[in-house]
Amino acid sequence: MFTGLSAFPLTPLANDAVDERAFVHLIERLSEAQVDSITALGSTGSYAYLSNQERSRVTRLAVEHAGGTPVFIGVGALRTSQILENVRQAAQAGAAGLLLAPMTYQPLTDDDVFELFRTVTACSSLPVIVYDNPATTHFTFTTELYGRIAELPGIASIKIPGVPAAPEQAKALVQEIRAAVPAHVTIGVSGDAKAAAGLAAGCDAWYSVIGGTLPALAMRITRSALEGRVSDASAESERLAPLWQLFAEFGGSLRVMAAIAEQLGLAAKPCLPLPIQGLTETQRAHVGRVVDELGLTP
């Protein structure tokens, strides 16, 4: 289950409540596009801003409408007890796996994070994806910590940040991680602009932001790379350079993807949880021009 394209959908809000109709539509589109898996309540899904009740409801909606596509659920929270409750709810809903981020307010140590994963894997039989995204969690994994955690029973995959731009450096990084973890643990790249490079460097999966809203586009890149047509995957990623530039210019992918979903009629405006304001009208106009230039369609 932990290979290929894992699509990370938004969790659209309307009037400060989860827009269930819009969310279900996003999930059904992913199923119809035949993505390899769906990861709900990732960072793109704004999990950290939702109440326990909202997260439970979103989890059930994702599983119910995925049409048999494996659904992984983000269970991160500040306290271990809260995480274990999220794990319980994910299991009850029929989730196929868990995405666990080491959320922090006070800085976490390597031992703190190891014990978190040890506790979760000891309390649940669901496979776990290790979420490494220092831009959101403010915790940076080392290769040594990958190795320690990956030895725990139930660890299935590691979601790494974007790889270096230079192909040889990217391959060296993936090989270094591969050597540190058991053979059954897959390596998935995130950071969409580096996805084609990560897959070409030997990553097994792409944990994709754009895949949650534009699955056909992400599927083309994934299939090309994993089937050995690396030049095709790279060319498609290079074609999307204006989109990657928006991510860099406007503070990351979440605001941009929310604006695209709103423009394409997949979510009401505004769809992000406050206090995240989303893009300004000038910025939205810029996004609209890029959407038209690239021919992005729902």
Give tens-digit pLDDT for 271-294: 999 999 999 999 999 999 999 999
| Total of domains in the chain | 1
Please write the tens of the pLDDT for every residue from 202-248: 999 999 999 999 999 999 999 999 999 999 999 999 999 999 999 99
CATH number for the domain that contains residue 192? 3.20.20.70
- The residue range of the domain holding 43 is 4-237
The verdict on residue 255 lying in a domain is no
Q: What are phi and psi of 22, to 5 degrees?
A: -65, -40
Residue pair 278/254 in contact (Cβ under 8 Å)? The answer is: no
For tokens 């999966």, the residue is 205
Q: Does the predicted model carry a pTM greater than 0.85?
A: yes
SS3 37: strand
Q: Give 19's Cβ-side CA count (13 Å radius).
A: 24
* Pair of tokens at residue 21: 């109709």
Residue 244 lies in a domain: no
Q: pLDDT confidence of 298, banded at 50, 70, 90? A: confident
Residue at 158 is within a domain: yes
Would you say residue 252 lies in a domain? Answer: no
Helices 241-249 and 253-263, packing angle to 10 deg: 120
Once rounded to an integer, what is the mean pLDDT over residues 63-76?
A: 98
| Inside any domain, residue 248 | no
Between CA 260 and CA 294, with CA 242 as vertex, the angle to 5 degrees is 65
Assess if residue 68 is contained within a domain: yes
